[in-house]
């Protein structure tokens, strides 16, 4: 006889250390708040909760109880024994103040689901849902699909240390999500010799580099930049009912200013335009072979994301953030700081021009149109 128990909001039943509460801070419209109990999604939350449950049920584990995180199984040979075993479990739960979720508990049953498998007197069996998923898988409809299916089924049997052999492929796909086809093959082959494949800069960065070369007020000196020279980039974005635009101001170590305004040809929120402008600025700076860069933005969300103080929970923001971090890794040194909006006036004005005026009225400087979101270009979910 079996009973399946489920702890209610398991992680929330563990109190946070007062010294660590500030590490769980999150933003709300009413201010900053932090957790007093352990929240979900912490990296060590599952392990911490498992240690707690193991400690609570230590006298019973392996004898009448099995525990995996918040799932508890009570097992007995007879109904009479089962009642006594449940009493022991409830005594420990009450002693440590643990609560159960009645909607997910089942008492005195002959079979049930535990860790994705069906557990019964016969033993451990595959869940019917998993069997159904396999049975409903569409059959191969071509020779190529059949070969691909057979390869998946038998490859592991014939390749020793199959997982280890796949690591170079997985590492390449994780590090360079834009690599596909022939470029992926080159990257894997070059990695065997310690050579990293570097894809060409995006066309957007090349277009802006050409613009700088053509419209700069002072002749550009064609010399290699010193490794000790720092460039400075101010960025800002604007989202209006009339459209969205971004503005950036790049200052060289000798004081020359390069200005750029871009009108976005797609709807974008305030947060999205902030990411679009920093990606545009980084593309421009890389096209100029800059190795050291200071970035200033008045967007607290953008700066804290890059500094790893805030977590990007939205899927689109996470893709933007990944692109920014990957691009910043191509600099020898870089910093990013938040400044007040009053200190970012020139970039703010450029963004307002691009967002507010139709293209034909933008007579102060050329305003280009970007058709697609940067986070979507070349992105494939892993």
Describe the strand order of the beta sheet including 231-240 as a list of residue ranges.
333-338, 292-297, 231-240, 243-251, 257-264, 367-370
Encode pLDDT of 116-136 as tens digits. 777 777 777 777 777 787 788
Q: Are the C-beta atoms of 291 and 329 separated by less than 8 Å?
A: no
CA angle 241, 378, 300 (to 5 degrees): 50
CATH code that applies to domain 231-356: 3.30.420.10
The pair of structure tokens assigned to 102 is 């009645």
Distance of CA 322 to the CA centre of its chain: 7
Encode pLDDT of 186-200 as tens digits. 665 666 555 665 655
- Of the two residues 357 and 305, the one the predictor is more confident about is 305
**Can you give the pTM of this predicted structure?**
0.39
Rounded Cα gap, residues 285 and 232, in angstroms? 10
pLDDT tier for residue 158 given thresholds of 50, 70 and 90: low
The pair of structure tokens assigned to 74 is 């009570």
Lowest-pLDDT range of 64-68, 204-208, 235-239, 275-279: 204-208
What integer best gives the mean pLDDT of the chain?
77
- Of the two residues 370 and 254, the one the predictor is more confident about is 254
Lowest-pLDDT range of 144-153, 201-210, 267-276, 299-308: 201-210
φ and ψ of 127, to 5 deg: -65, 140
Q: Are the C-beta atoms of 273 and 370 separated by less than 8 Å?
A: no
The number of CA neighbours under 13 Å toward the Cβ of 318 is 7
Encode pLDDT of 56-72 as tens digits. 888 888 888 888 887 88
Q: Is the pLDDT of residue 32 over 90?
A: no
Q: Which helix (H) or strand (E) is 204 found in, with range?
A: helix 203-215
- Of the two residues 201 and 329, the one the predictor is more confident about is 329
Q: Is the pLDDT of residue 93 over 70?
A: yes
Rounded Cα gap, residues 134 and 153, in angstroms? 13
pLDDT tier for residue 163 given thresholds of 50, 70 and 90: low
* DSSP bridge pairs for 6: 71
Lowest-pLDDT range of 8-17, 256-265, 281-290, 311-320: 8-17
Kindly list the domain boundaries of the chain, sorted by start residue. 2-109, 128-176, 231-356
Describe the strand order of the beta sheet including 2-6 as a list of residue ranges.
65-68, 71-75, 2-6, 106-109
The pair of structure tokens assigned to 227 is 């490794």
Rounded Cα gap, residues 287 and 282, in angstroms? 9
Predicted pLDDT of residue 355: 79
- Of the two residues 360 and 133, the one the predictor is more confident about is 133
Predicted pLDDT of residue 234: 93
CATH superfamily of 2-109: Reverse transcriptase/Diguanylate cyclase domain (3.30.70.270)
Contacts of 103 (CB under 8 A, 6+ apart): none
The number of beta carbons lying within 10 Å of the beta carbon of residue 178 is: 14
Rounded Cα gap, residues 120 and 113, in angstroms? 9
Rounded Cα gap, residues 273 and 320, in angstroms? 11
User: Ranked by mean pLDDT, which of 16-20, 51-55, 153-157, 318-322 comes out on top?
Assistant: 318-322
Using DSSP's 3-state secondary structure scheme, residue 358 falls into coil
Predicted pLDDT of residue 63: 87
CA distances to 206, 251, 281, 368 from 294, in Å: 21, 10, 11, 25
Q: Is the pLDDT of residue 40 over 80?
A: no
The pair of structure tokens assigned to 345 is 């006036």
- Of the two residues 7 and 223, the one the predictor is more confident about is 7
Burial class (CB within 10 angstroms; exposed 0-12, middle 13-18, buried 19+) of 277: buried
Encode pLDDT of 246-304 as tens digits. 889 999 888 888 888 888 888 888 889 899 999 999 998 998 888 899 999 999 999 99
């Amino acid at each position: 006889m079996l009973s399946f128990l489920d702890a209610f909001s398991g992680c929330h039943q563990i109190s946070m250390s007062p010294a660590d509460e500030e590490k769980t801070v999150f933003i709300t419209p009413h201010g900053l708040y932090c957790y007093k109990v352990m929240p979900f999604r912490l990296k060590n939350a599952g392990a911490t909760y498992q240690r707690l449950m193991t400690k609570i049920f230590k006298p019973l584990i392996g004898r009448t109880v099995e525990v995996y995180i918040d799932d508890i199984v009570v097992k007995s040979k007879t109904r009479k024994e089962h009642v006594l075993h449940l009493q022991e479990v409830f005594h420990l739960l009450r002693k440590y103040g643990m609560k159960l979720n009645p909607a997910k508990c089942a008492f005195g049953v002959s079979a049930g689901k535990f860790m994705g498998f069906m557990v019964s007197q016969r033993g451990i069996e595959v869940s019917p849902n998993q069997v159904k998923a396999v049975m409903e898988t569409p059959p191969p409809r071509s020779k190529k699909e059949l070969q691909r299916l057979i390869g998946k089924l038998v490859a592991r049997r014939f390749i020793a240390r199959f997982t280890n052999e796949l690591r170079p492929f997985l590492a390449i796909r994780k590090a360079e999500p834009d690599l596909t086809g022939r470029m992926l093959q080159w990257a894997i082959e070059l990695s065997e010799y310690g050579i990293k494949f570097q894809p060409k800069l995006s066309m957007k960065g090349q277009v802006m580099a050409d613009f700088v070369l053509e419209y700069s007020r002072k002749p550009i000196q064609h010399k290699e930049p010193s490794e000790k020279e720092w460039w400075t980039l101010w960025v800002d974005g604007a989202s209006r009912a009339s459209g969205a635009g971004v503005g950036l101001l790049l200052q060289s170590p000798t004081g020359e200013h390069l200005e750029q305004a871009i009108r976005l040809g797609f709807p974008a929120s305030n947060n999205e335009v902030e990411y679009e402008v920093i990606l545009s600025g980084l593309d421009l700076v890389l096209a100029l072979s800059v190795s050291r860069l200071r970035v200033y933005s008045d967007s607290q969300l953008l700066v804290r994301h890059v500094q790893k103080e805030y977590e990007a929970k939205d899927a689109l923001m996470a893709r933007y953030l990944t692109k920014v971090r990957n691009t910043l890794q191509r600099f020898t040194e870089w910093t990013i700081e938040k400044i007040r909006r009053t200190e970012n006036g020139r970039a703010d004005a450029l963004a307002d021009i691009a967002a507010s005026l139709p293209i034909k009225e933008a007579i102060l400087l050329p305003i280009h149109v970007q058709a697609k979101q940067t986070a979507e270009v070349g992105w494939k979910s892993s």
